[in-house]
Amino acid sequence: MPSEKVDIDDLRPTQLTLGLSDVASRAAKIARQSPKEREAALERKAIPHVLGPGGDIFMVDHHHLARALWSLNIREAVLGERLADWSDLDVKPFWRQMEACGYCWPIDADGNRRPYSAIPQHVSELTDNVWRGLARRVRGKAFENLDTPFQEFIWGDYFRTFMSRRLLELHSTSPPISRPNSPTCPRRRICPALWREANPLMVRKPPQGVSRRPEEAVSNHGPQMRSR
């Protein structure tokens, strides 16, 4: 049976932010793919969703993929599993149900909980979360890559508590790491915490409330959530 396509303009986000660095990386990868390769990749990343008020489609995962496609003027994705049909609910009960099931993340880049109404209407309106972007870069190095709901947002929120945006800017402009274990590594001098990105042996403990085991991971902001 042919896959169901969906216009990205018809997808409603369920989070406030994403990592624009990750979006750029994905967009570059997609741009290098042949049409056949891209089609296969989109099939593997079919977008799970919930039907909400008015029959709108609320995406529960793959926000970064949708934004990357949109940035390349590719306006369709593959629609995946329908997790629920709550189209009969009013707006407020709908969002409460979404959060209760872990299908939304109403937390901004500064770690503040925002009202559901602050969640953008379109994936192009999602703002940058540099901490989520950092967590994506160090995933598998500073913490295990497990299927923990919103693990990159949770770890990013943790990194924000002891780093500054200025340190991230310095890190992004420093020379590439050729010998990450060297004491003279420029990134190590800039910020030892960021230097650990390149050294899997120097791993911080998980943030409070977050385990390396997905079944035990719980965000301090509420129930487990999955969208990215």
Q: Domain residues for 44?
A: 5-128
Same domain assignment for residues 142 and 206: yes
Domain assignment present for 200:
yes
**Cα–Cα distance for residue pair 157/112, rounded to 1 Å:** 10
Q: Are residues 112 and 153 in the same domain?
A: no
Q: Return phi, psi of residue 31, to 5°.
A: -60, -25
Is residue 53 assigned to a domain?
A: yes
Q: Residues 65, 98: contact at Cβ < 8 Å?
A: no
In this prediction, residues 9-16 reach a mean pLDDT of: 97
Q: Does one domain contain both 62 and 153?
A: no
pLDDT of residue 140: 84
Select from 78, 99, 128 the last residue of a domain: 128
Mean pLDDT of the chain: 80
Let me know if residue 223 belongs to a domain: no
- The predicted-structure confidence for 68-124, as pLDDT tens digits, reads as follows 999 999 999 999 999 999 999 999 999 999 999 989 999 999 999 999 999 999 999
In the chain, DSSP assigns E strands to: 5-7, 11-12, 17-18, 47-51, 57-59, 76-85, 127-128
Domains: count for the chain: 2
Query: Is residue 108 located within the same domain as residue 138?
Result: no
140 shares its domain with 119 = no
Task: Give the CATH number, domain containing residue 46.
Answer: 3.90.1530.10
**Residue 139 — pLDDT band, cuts 50, 70, 90?**
confident
Within this chain, do residues 22 and 57 fall inside the same structural domain, yes or no? yes
Instruction: Pick the last residue of a domain from 128, 149, 179.
Output: 128
Give the mean pLDDT of 141-164.
83
182/92 same-domain check: no
Residues 74 and 136 both lie in one domain: no
Rounded percentage of the chain residues whose pLDDT exceeds 70: 72
Whether residue 222 is contained in a domain is answered as no
Q: What is the pLDDT of residue 62?
A: 94
Same domain, 35 and 18: yes
Q: What six digits make up the tokens of 147?
A: 């299927």
Task: Note whether 13 and 111 are same-domain residues.
Answer: yes
How far apart (Å, rounded) are the C-alpha atoms in residues 172 and 193? Answer: 14
Q: Are residues 112 and 158 in the same domain?
A: no
The CA-to-CA distance between both ends of the chain, in Å, stands at 27
Is pLDDT at 197 greater than 80 in this prediction?
Answer: no
Band of residue 171 on the pLDDT scale cut at 50, 70, 90: low
Rounded Cα gap, residues 176 and 92, in angstroms: 48
Up-side HSE of residue 26: CA atoms within 13 Å toward CB?
A: 24
The pLDDT value given to residue 151: 83
Q: Domain check: are 9 and 121 in the same one?
A: yes
User: Is the pTM higher than 0.95?
Assistant: no
**Residue ending a domain, choose from 71, 93, 128:** 128
